[in-house]
Structure 1
Amino acid sequence: MDDEGPNPQEKLLVIVEDDAAFARTLKRSFERRGYCVLTADSQAALLTILEQHHPKYAVVDLKLGAESGLVCVQALHAHDARMLIIVLTGFASIATAVEAIKLGASHYLAKPSNTDDIEAAFARSAGDTSTPLAPRPTSIKTLEWEHIHEVLKDSDFNISETARRLGMHRRTLARKLAKRQVG
């Protein structure tokens, strides 16, 4: 967590990310764009920040070690319902995207996402009714990927419990999670 106090005139952003190198990179990139950036690596660190600061923007990693970033999304939205919250994840699924939006996220982006992607998502917070409703063919691999991530979310991101619920070996599940989603 950063101890520096932000200038209230600036665009205040909080980044909730447990990967220190990625958080540092995002922080520097946003600072170059005129944001004042605070970082937290857990829900506890975020709550400490929120005691003294009122960010207008937030970027939250979905998986914070053993914690779910969804809890942070909920805390941020409760702190200020107008805050623009972007969820980043390497574990994208329809189930977690829906939950993130229900809890107050503005957008949900799959990693790798960069500062341009995040800032564009901040700008699109109102939604777009002209988004095409083209049917998307769903493959078996996509359905499996989404089901695994739904069970993973339901078991609080516990790999062993998820594997048990899916009836597969923990190492098999770990291999499936390490693979990129196939569309």
Structure 2
Amino acid sequence: MSQAVHREHGHEDEGRSVLVVDDEDAFRDRLVRALAERGFEAVGVPSAEEAIRHAQLETPECAVVDLRMPRTSGLHAVRKLHELDPTTRIVVLTGYGSIATALDAVRSGAVHYLTKPADIDEIVAAFDHDGSPADEPPPTSVPSLERVEWEHIDRVLVSCGGNITRAAALLGLHRRSLQRKIGKRPGPR
């Protein structure tokens, strides 16, 4: 169910509508409240399907979309939201960040990509991101083999819409082996 939240007055973002799409109730509710405190008209929904239904009635100016959700992926929601209104400023949030998923999200219409936990200021700043690569220095070290393997697994999972059974078959792994590898996500290097 959608949950509308009241906005506070006196913020520069006042009145800007934002749709928060995340299946974790507590996280979604906290984010909706934090956005409302910054002057946004924030609404939260727990699934990609509800996000699409909501946007078909009224497209939001901004959206925060969790990439990993049950049933329909957040990436599908990003594509549909962008298709419904290409001016919607979509920020993708995920706990499973990789270069592959970041590129897929941006190609699908997101203006920025943040990994959880992202703070509210990062999310608000991301709405106004111009889509160009971040002004970060190039990495000075090579990623670990575990990190590269994990990013490859993540890329295959994204291409399978999050279906672990299909991804395991494509990777030549047993489903349980793939689940163990997903659970052992390596650090940023």
Fold match (TM-score > 0.5): yes
Per-residue deviation, residues 58-99 of structure 1 (Å, max 9, x unmatched): 000101113211111111112221221100111212221111
State yes or no: 1:2 paired with 2:7.
no
| Worse-superposed segment, 135-144 or 80-89 | 135-144
Distance 1:117 1:179, change over 3 A: farther
Q: 5+ unaligned residues in a row in structure 1: which ranges?
A: none
Distance 1:177 1:130, change over 3 A: closer
* Aligned-CA RMSD value: 2.2
State yes or no: 1:28 paired with 2:33.
yes
Distance 1:130 1:43, change over 3 A: closer
Equivalent pairs counted in the alignment come to 182
Alpha-carbon separation, structure 1, partners of 2:186 and 2:61:
32
Q: 5+ unaligned residues in a row in structure 2: which ranges?
A: 8-13
Question: For 1:93, which of 86, 89, 98 is the aligned residue?
Answer: 98
* Per-residue deviation, 1:43: 2.6
Checking the alignment, whether the CA contact within 8 Å between 1:84 and 1:125 is kept in structure 2 is no
* Per-residue deviation, 1:23: 0.7
Q: Which runs of 4+ in 1 moved over 4 A?
A: 3-7, 128-131
Per-residue deviation, residues 94-119 of structure 1 (Å, max 9, x unmatched): 22111111111001111111212211
- Give the structure-2-normalised TM-score: 0.85
Per-residue deviation, residues 24-66 of structure 1 (Å, max 9, x unmatched): 1111111111111112222321122113323111000101113
State yes or no: 1:83 paired with 2:88.
yes
- Give the structure-1-normalised TM-score: 0.88
How do residues 32-181 of structure 1 correspond to structure 2 at under 5 angstroms?
32-125=37-130, 127=132, 130-181=135-186
Amino acid at match of 2:159: D
Amino acid at match of 1:174: Q
Percent identity over the alignment?
37
Checking the alignment, whether the CA contact within 8 Å between 2:3 and 2:45 is kept in structure 1 is no
